[in-house]
Amino acid sequence: MYASCSSALSDAALSRLLADDAPVGDLTTESLGLQGQPGRLEFHARGAMTVCGVEEAVRLFELAGATAHRAMSSGTTVDDGTLLLTAAGAADALHRAWKTAQTLMEWASGIASEATALVRAAAPVPVACTRKNAPGTKILSIKAIQAGGAIVHRLGLSETLLVFAEHRLFLDEPPNATIARLRNRQPEKKIVIEVKSADEASVWAHAGADVLQLEKFTPAAVNTCRTRLEAEGLHPMLVAAGGVRTDNAAAYVAAGVTLIATSAPYSAAPRDVQVRFFKAG
């Protein structure tokens, strides 16, 4: 599993999160006159999970004026009740960072935990997560899926060749010409073609595609497609994309895919982090 001892988000990004939650102060804490009163808190896992976002949470408390220490690192799978982090300082500093840090950890740990489940279900085939994370969350989303043992399918449009039907709509040339042009233009890159049927898979495999992304194929359809390509003497990488879940990942593996591409972890429910406050001194 991926583990990090530093925050994936910059201090500027974390400070914006704090400012968003308390743009002109903490009305309740200030009205109660709690400024400067010493306290401490603990974050505990409420239920088993793969932890992510501890480093960011620690830094949020530090930016708010408290001290904090992580008890677990991102990428660690923990049991119910496990201590995740501690923080100490003035009550107003603790309250300023509390909910932002808790929410961030719960959301990131949800993604990481779902990624862990998919990786286990698909073993030994790798699980790659797509670029379909919620807008504005890419950096932490990528950290979370890596914490769960998944890899990155593509970070964005700039670094990989993935030809969709929506690209091919604008082309007026045979498939082998398209492959040849891409090979000449980007000789270092693998050429990935998304297909929606075994017939399309055969056409593009014969044209020389390195990888076929099988869009919303059932496991049975994957097996049929693979068998047909092998009978034709073709052996491109086969990627299952769309509709792969923890309950059917093993079936896709048995059908012969080389890789699973999914965005499922990004919509996982947050994991529950329990926060316990204590009055100090």
CATH for 61: 3.90.1170.20
> Is the omega angle on the peptide bond into residue 124 within 30 degrees of 0, that is, cis?
yes
User: Would residue 224 count as lying in a domain?
Assistant: yes
Q: Give the domain extent around 31.
A: 11-119+269-279
| Residues whose CB falls within 8 Å of the CB of residue 183, separated by 6 or more in sequence, listed in order | 191, 208
**DSSP character string of 73-129:** -TT-EE-TT-EEEEEEEEHHHHHHHHHHHHHHHHHHHHHHHHHHHHHHHHTTS-EEE
User: Would residue 5 count as lying in a domain?
Assistant: no
User: Would residue 24 count as lying in a domain?
Assistant: yes
Res 105: pLDDT: 98
| Mean of all residue pLDDT scores within the chain | 96
Predicted TM-score (pTM) of the model is 0.94
Task: Tell me which DSSP letter residue 264 carries.
Answer: G
Does residue 127 sit in the same domain as residue 257?
Answer: yes
User: Would residue 6 count as lying in a domain?
Assistant: no
Does residue 214 sit in the same domain as residue 84?
Answer: no
Model pLDDT for residues 239-269, shown as the tens digit of each residue: 999 999 999 999 999 999 999 999 999 999 9
Model pLDDT for residues 114-169, shown as the tens digit of each residue: 999 999 999 999 999 999 999 999 999 999 999 999 999 999 999 999 999 999 99
Res 148: pLDDT: 97
How many distinct structural domains can be found in the chain? Answer: 2
Model pLDDT for residues 21-59, shown as the tens digit of each residue: 999 999 999 999 999 999 999 999 999 999 999 999 999
Q: Is the pLDDT of residue 280 over 90?
A: no
Task: Tell me which DSSP letter residue 43 carries.
Answer: E
Alpha carbons 193 and 213: distance in angstroms, whole number: 6
